[in-house]
Each structure stands twice: as structure tokens, then as C-alpha cells.
Amino acid sequence: MTRSIPFGRPMIGQEEKDAVMNVLSGPILVHGPQAKQFEADFAAYTDAQEAITVSSCTAGMHLVWFTLGMGPGDEIIVPAETHVATAHAVELVGATPVFVDACRATGNIDLGAVENAITSRTRAICVVHYLGMPVDMSRVMPLAEKHNLFVLEDCALAVGTRLKDVHAGLLGHAGVFSFYPVKHMTTAEGGMIITNDSDLAGKLRLRKAFGVNSTHSERKVPGVYDVVALGYNYRMNEIQAAIGVSQLKKVDQFLEARKRNYSALEEGLRGVPRTHRLTSSHGPFVSSHYCYSLLLDEELGECRSEIVGQLNAKGVGTSVHYPQPVPRMSYYKEKYGWTEGSYPNAAWLSDCSIALPVGPHVDLDDVAYIAGTLSETLQEFVG
Ligand SMILES: *Cc1c(COP(=O)(O)O)cnc(C)c1O
């Protein structure tokens, strides 16, 4: 039995294809009804007062820092274990990312270490719901209030993530989602900012489109407008938004499949020696189950590339989240310096984990195959 199970695959059906063809058959490719619809639908799905389409999650996070006026001399706390985009968004406005190590149990930012990282220059905290597991925001927000900090949630893997029934992105002051092809839902490339702060939302809308003071439909004389702020072009086009509208209708099904696959894989891998797993959904903490991360102990971790090589050869697609603690990546290392051992938990997550697929492209037979192949492969290494 040979299988080939990719780590992730966009779930594009006839609905998305029809939606795209509909847009292409009409005259409006940007500034149209699809982006408005997608924003309204996403706001309803998350229960947000405001939802703003953007061209990617990275663009959205950059836009938030830019709009808040973050810049040189300002420090923003970010987790060491994340996609580089979280830190890049801070760097792009000239502010300084201050990295905090991960918690070994959840992979999320170590909340015990956040307060120690706060200085008189700290202006904000960016949390990341690691692999879809919600950060305990009931510990973050009092700290933010005490020190007057803005809290941004990097929700790239957090569609469906909830804490006490509140959707991720509304637990802090704003949240930004990603619709990159292998995330929970896709628009090919794209992102969404949500917030309950309508004043901030207005400023973000302005700055995502050149700082132009009126939308197309509001202009009295076509082509005539004023510019009241500096801004980017971070819009999402109608083709992307139309895909998003269709994908959002399916996202609960996708999340259900992820949860089912995650539980089955967890069950199938129970008792595999010298491995650890991260805490997942429990009580009010609802994960979006982006992937199943199997953590090898430090010694076994040295064989990770061989183990992964064998899994891939047997048709089990894998990934690593994330390839390096951000401060160990060359750009950051050269700029801020790197001391070996400075973010031990982030390094363990990067160097010793194997991310396994649980997306809706995977069925329960696939899960059984993944669990069986993994147990068999590890046996050789565990000895
Ligand atoms: C994927 C990812 C991003 C980047 O999202 P884009 O839409 O590609 O910009 C940012 N943060 C995290 C945590 C991610 O996993």
C-alpha cells in the first residue's frame, strides 16, 4: 500500500471555481462587493465589530504597527518561536522586536517571562496562537493594562481558535489572520484584520489604500479624491475575496475534520517512547488544530532529519513549525546577536519537532497510516 499524504493542501471545490469565474466575467476586479461580503461574513463568523481584508497576514500586522505609529525606539514583545513574519512586521516600522522564549507545554509565549521583558520603551505585545492553541489571554491582558500596552494577536493559524467562547483576534485589541494556501482556509494569498475598536478600524481602512479619503462609490466626481494620510496598497482583490466567501462557508467542516484527525492521531501515537506532545484543546481553550506536532526528546531529536527522510519516503508529508527560533535566523542574529542556549524551549520546538498533517485532505485511513508508519520508523531509532 503506497500512499502520498501531503502536509497541507488547499481545498478548492467547484464553488470557489464558479465564484472566481463570476468575478472574471464582470467589470469589477477590486473595490467591489466581494471584499465587502467577505468582511461582513468574517465579522459575523468571529463576532467581530470590524473586519478588514488585507493582502496577507504580514501586510496586516505591518499595517497595524504603522497605523499605531510604532517606530524607532519602541519595543514590541514577540515570541521567539513563530513565523518570521511576526518579527518582520515589527522590524518593518523600525521598532525593536524583543523576543521571549516559548512555554514547553503549549509552544505559546512563556507568560511567566513576559513581564521581565517589559521596559520603559515597551509599547506592545504580539502574541501568536501557536499551531492554533489559544494563548491564555486572561494573563496577558491585565499585564498589558498595567503597562499600557497594545496587544496584537497573530492569528495566522487561529481561524476557529477560541478562549471562553471568544474567537481569537478579539481577546486582545486586534487580530490578523492568514489565508495562505495551506492555512485553515485560503484566498491563495490574503489576510483579515478583526477588531472591536471602530476608531482603529477606520484608520486601518484608510492606510491600507493610500490614505485616500473616499472609496470609489463615495466619490462625487469619478477619479477625484483627497489623500489625508500616508498609506500602502494592501488591498485584497475581488478574485481572492470571492474565494474567501466560499471557503468561509466550509470552514466549520474543515475544522471538524481537523479535530477528528488530531484526536485519532493522538490516540494512534499514544505510548510512542521518547516523544512528547503539546497540550491541546481542554476546557475553555479551543484549538484550531493546525497540525499535530510530535516532539522528540533532545537526544532522539538529533536524528530528526533521518526520521523525517524515512517518513517522507513512505509518503507521509511533514513540516516544521518553525524552522528556527526567529532570533537565530541570520538576519536577526547579525542584527541583535545570538547566544547559544538563550531560547532553549524555542530551540527544542524548532529542532526536535515533526509537524504531521491533520487537515481536511486527510481521512481516517490516512491517519492510521501516518500513526503506523511513524511508530514503525521510530522503533529503529529508539532501539
Ligand atoms: C503563515 C504565518 C504568517 C504569515 O502569513 P502570510 O499571510 O503568508 O503573510 C504569519 N504568522 C504566522 C504565525 C504564520 O504561521
Q: What is the 3-state secondary structure (H, E, C) of 13-56?
A: CHHHHHHHHHHHHCCCCCCCHHHHHHHHHHHHHHCCCEEEEECC
Q: Which atom of ligand 1 is nearest to the CA of 82?
A: 13
Check pLDDT > 80 for residue 214. Answer: no
Measured CA distances, 186 to 55, 181, 249 (Å): 12, 5, 12
Q: Output the pLDDT for position 382.
A: 85
Task: State the distance from the centre of ligand 1 to the C-alpha of 271, rounded, in angstroms.
Answer: 32
Q: Is 128 in the pocket of ligand 1 (CB under 6 A)?
A: yes
In ligand 1, the atom with minimum distance to the C-alpha of 183 is: 1
H or E element in which residue 26 lies:
none
**Position 107 pLDDT exceeds 80:** yes
What are residue 276's phi and psi, to 5 degrees? -130, 155
Average confidence (pLDDT) over 107-116 = 97
Q: In this predicted structure, which of 51-60, 160-169, 183-192, 207-216 has the lowest mean pLDDT?
A: 207-216
User: In this predicted structure, what is the pLDDT of residue 1?
Assistant: 60
| Beta pairing partners, 84 | none
Q: Note the pLDDT tens digit of each residue in 262-274.
A: 999 999 999 899 9
pLDDT of residue 223: 85
- Is the beta carbon of 240 within 6 A of some atom in ligand 1? no
User: What value does the mean pLDDT take over residues 46-59?
Assistant: 98
> Considering only CA atoms, which residue is closest to atom 5 of ligand 1?
57
> Which residues are within 8 A (CB) of 222 and not within 5 positions of it... i.e. 6 or more apart?
none
Three-state DSSP class for 278?
coil
Atom of ligand 1 nearest to the CA of 128: 13
CA of 131 to the centre of ligand 1 (A): 11
C-beta of residue 174 within 8 angstroms of C-beta of residue 129: no
Question: Which atom in ligand 1 lies closest to the alpha carbon of residue 178?
Answer: 7
- The CB-side HSE value for 280 (13 A sphere, CA atoms) comes to 19
Residue 377 pLDDT > 80: yes
**pTM: predicted TM-score of the whole model, two decimal places:** 0.97
Nearest atom (ligand 1) to Cα of 191? 7
Radius of gyration of the chain (CA): 21
Q: Which of 126, 131, 180 to mutate to test the pocket of ligand 1 (most atoms within 8 A of CB)?
A: 180
- Average per-residue pLDDT for the chain: 97
| pLDDT for 323 beyond 80 | yes
- Classified as helix, coil or strand, 11 is coil
User: In this structure, what C-alpha cell is assigned to residue 285?
Assistant: 481553550
Evaluate if residue 72 carries a pLDDT over 80. yes
Write out the three cell numbers for 271: 505510548
Determine the distance separating the centroid of ligand 1 and the alpha carbon of 187, expressed in angstroms: 13
* pLDDT for the residue numbered 115: 96
Residue where the block lists cell 538576519: 331
Site to substitute for ligand 1 among 54, 56, 57, most atoms within 8 A of C-beta: 57
pLDDT digits (tens, 9 = 90+) for 2-23: 799 999 999 999 999 999 999 9
- Are the CB atoms for 19 and 246 separated by under 8 Å? yes
- Quick check: 201 pLDDT over 80? yes
Residue among 80, 41, 69 nearest 194 (CA): 41
- Of the residues 53, 55, 58, which should be mutated to test ligand 1's pocket, given the most ligand atoms within 8 Å of the CB? 58
Q: Is 161 in the pocket of ligand 1 (CB under 6 A)?
A: no
The Cα–Cα gap between 381 and 383 comes to: 5
Which band of pLDDT confidence, cut at 50, 70 and 90, is reported for residue 217? confident
Ligand 1 close to Cβ of residue 191 (< 6 A): yes
Answer whether 85 contacts ligand 1 (Cβ < 6 A): yes
Residue type for position 252: D
Residue 16 in contact with ligand 1 by CB distance below 6 A? no
CA 150, 52, 251 angle in degrees (round to 5)? Answer: 105
Q: At residue 364, does pLDDT exceed 90? A: yes
**Least confident piece of the model among 22-36, 215-229, 252-266:** 215-229
Using the predicted structure, report yes or no on whether residue 175 has a pLDDT greater than 80: yes
What pLDDT is stored for residue 213 in this prediction? 85
Beta pairing partners, 50: 195
CA-based torsion, 272, 340, 343, 350: positive or negative: negative
CA distance 240 to 252: 20
d(CA 260, CA 365): 12
What's the rounded Cα separation, in Å, for the pair 252 and 159? Answer: 10
Is the pLDDT confidence value at 332 over 70? Answer: yes
Host H or E run for residue 194: strand 191-195
Ligand 1: centre distance to CA 129 (Å): 11
Q: Indicate the burial class of 45 (C-beta count within 10 angstroms; 0-12, 13-18, 19 or more).
A: middle
**Chain segment 122-151, per-residue pLDDT in tens:** 999 999 999 999 999 999 999 999 999 999
DSSP structural state of residue 171: S
Between 143 and 220, the higher pLDDT residue: 143
Phi and psi, residue 132, nearest 5°: 95, 0
